[in-house]
């Protein structure tokens, strides 16, 4: 047994305490600014123990969010039919998550929680932004202006979240009952515009975007 | 005082009971199928009393939903700059509701409730579909195939709900912080496609749409 050094040994619910600390740190600081060191300090354990239980920061984050989705596999699938098909594949993959017997309920649970609890909303945002949409967009950086990626990512998210609510949670008809192939055909062109379309930003728009994003970075986000 | 006839006199919380009954009937049957007669029967009062307290079915419905928005004024505003400007005006008006000091909190409250409580989701859907989006689309019936209106309305709703969540509830950046004029410019073309764009429905798609919508009607919706 480890000696008492002010740090807790592994025989209490250490992994639960690490997860609780990670939840707080990730939702308060966002994925990018969070560190294993901060999480370990909050849980009162050594950083090595966090790695031992949960692996990398990314793996820990996925355990906190707890949607059984493997981002790497998802992104491979989204790019599996070339850049042209990316918008269609995004909608397809997203509907696949919503309609999966394990992933659907997990996502809907998180989404419901996100609406009532600020921290769950922040986790959901961080998950989609950092793990999925930003990665997809950064693979398109030869065709998309990198300065526009965060804006495009948030627009894509707005449509996908709204689609999830309208089709699966509020059951807006006929969108809720038509087959998913039709939903893909209907929604993909709008996702395409958000990802690849000309946004016609004026110089003033571009300046405002920089101000907003710089402000966020300065605030430690 | 009225004699006891099995109907309650007006001196208890009759208006509260009528509202509760209306909430149940509207969310179970939808706006179109609900009637003042059914609501009065459930509240154990005379239909005339419902009209006395709440006016028409539409006025009662607006009291149940309790968003301080006047659909007629909203729709006049949406069409105020001609058909061309309708998509832009829809986004503008919607952001106006979200950013209004009374209307924003009311809408967000309803939306939060809608995610956790089925009946609130149904009311929200009925409100937007019947009171606003369907009315807008039916004024466009010379340019839009009437058979496609319910589908287009549910697609528009999906984007507007997602925009509300992403910008005002989950605070997805930079979408949450850019000024509303930019949001209108970014989102309006996507709303335009959902309202006026070619949806390229195949014959099979069109058949499925009819089946879904007919099924809903048969189910008393």
- CATH number where B130 lies: 1.10.357.10
For residues B120 and B212, membership in a common domain is answered with: yes
* Domain count within chain A: 2
Q: Convert the pLDDT of each residue in A52-83 to its tens digit.
A: 999 999 889 888 887 778 888 899 999 999 98
Same domain, B106 and B163: yes
B contacts of A150 (beta carbons < 8 Å) = 173-174
Residue (of B64, B74, B17) closest to B43 by Cα position: B17
In terms of CA atoms, which chain B residue is nearest residue A204? B182
Closest-CA distance of chain B to residue A19, Å:
22
Question: Can you spell out the DSSP letters for A137-192?
Answer: HHTTTTTS-GGGHHHHHHHHHHHHHHHHIIIIIS--TTTTTS-HHHHHHHHHHHHH
Which pLDDT tens digit goes with each residue over B169-221? 888 889 999 999 999 999 999 999 999 999 989 999 999 888 888 877 666 54
CATH of the domain at A50: 1.10.10.60
Same domain for B46 and B77, yes or no, is: no
Are residues B98 and B184 part of one domain? yes
Instruction: Pick from A33, A170, A180, A182 the residue to mutate for testing the B interface (most B CBs within 10 Å).
Output: A170
> How far is Cα A9 from Cα A136, in angstroms, rounded to an integer?
40
Share of chain A above pLDDT 90, in %: 45
B61 and B80 in a common domain: no
Whether B183 and B91 have beta carbons less than 8 Å apart is answered as yes
Residue B3 located in a structural domain = no
Q: State yes or no: pLDDT of A175 exceeds 90.
A: yes
- Are A33 and A98 in the same domain? no
Chain B CB contacts of A166 below 8 Å: 154, 157-158, 161-162
Instruction: State whether ipTM is beyond 0.90.
Output: no
A161–B159: do the CB atoms touch at under 8 Å? Answer: no
Question: In this structure, is residue A50 part of a structural domain?
Answer: yes
A173–B166 C-beta distance less than 8 A:
no
Alpha-carbon radius of gyration of chain A? 19
Residue B7: inside a domain, yes or no? no
Residue ranges making up the domain that contains A43: 14-65
Alpha carbon of A105: minimum distance to chain B alpha carbons (Å)? 14
Q: What is d(CA A164, CA A186) in angstroms, rounded to the nearest whole number?
A: 14
Whether residues B59 and B93 share a domain: the answer is: no
Residue of B32, B112, B155, B215 to mutate, testing the A interface (most A Cβ within 10 Å of its Cβ): B155
pLDDT per residue as tens digits for the range A188-217? 999 999 999 999 899 999 998 888 888 776
Q: Is the pLDDT of residue B133 over 60?
A: yes
DSSP B200: -
Q: Domain check: are B114 and B155 in the same one?
A: yes
Is the domain of A143 the same as that of A192? Answer: yes
Q: Which of A178, A186, A221 is the best substitution to test chain B (most B C-beta atoms within 10 A)?
A: A186
Residues A209 and A102 in one domain: yes
Nearest CA in chain A to B202: A182
CA distance B31 to chain A (A): 14
Whether residue B157 lies inside any domain: the answer is yes
Higher-pLDDT residue of B135, B191: B191
Let me know whether B163 and B128 are in one domain: yes
Residues B91 and B190 in one domain: yes
């Amino acid at each position: 047994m480890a000696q008492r050094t002010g740090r807790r040994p592994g025989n209490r619910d250490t992994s639960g305490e690490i997860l609780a600390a990670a939840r707080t740190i990730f939702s308060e600081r966002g994925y990018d600014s969070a560190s294993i060191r901060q999480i370990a300090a909050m849980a009162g354990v050594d950083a090595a123990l966090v790695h031992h239980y949960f692996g990398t920061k990314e793996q820990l984050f996925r355990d906190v969010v707890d949607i059984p989705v493997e981002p790497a596999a998802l992104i491979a699938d989204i790019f599996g039919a070339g850049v042209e098909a990316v918008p269609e594949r995004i909608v397809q993959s997203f509907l696949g998550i919503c309609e999966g017997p394990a992933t659907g309920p997990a996502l809907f649970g998180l989404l419901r929680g996100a609406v009532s609890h600020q921290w769950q909303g922040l986790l959901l945002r961080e998950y989609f932004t950092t793990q999925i949409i930003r990665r997809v967009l950064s693979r398109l950086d030869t065709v998309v202006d990198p300065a526009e990626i965060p804006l495009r990512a948030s627009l894509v998210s707005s449509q996908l979240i709204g689609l999830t609510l309208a089709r699966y949670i509020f059951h807006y008809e006929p969108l809720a009952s038509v087959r998913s192939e039709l939903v893909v055909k209907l929604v993909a062109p709008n996702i395409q515009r958000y990802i690849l379309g000309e946004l016609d930003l004026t110089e003033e728009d571009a300046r405002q975007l920089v101000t907003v994003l710089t402000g966020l970075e300065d605030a430690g986000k």
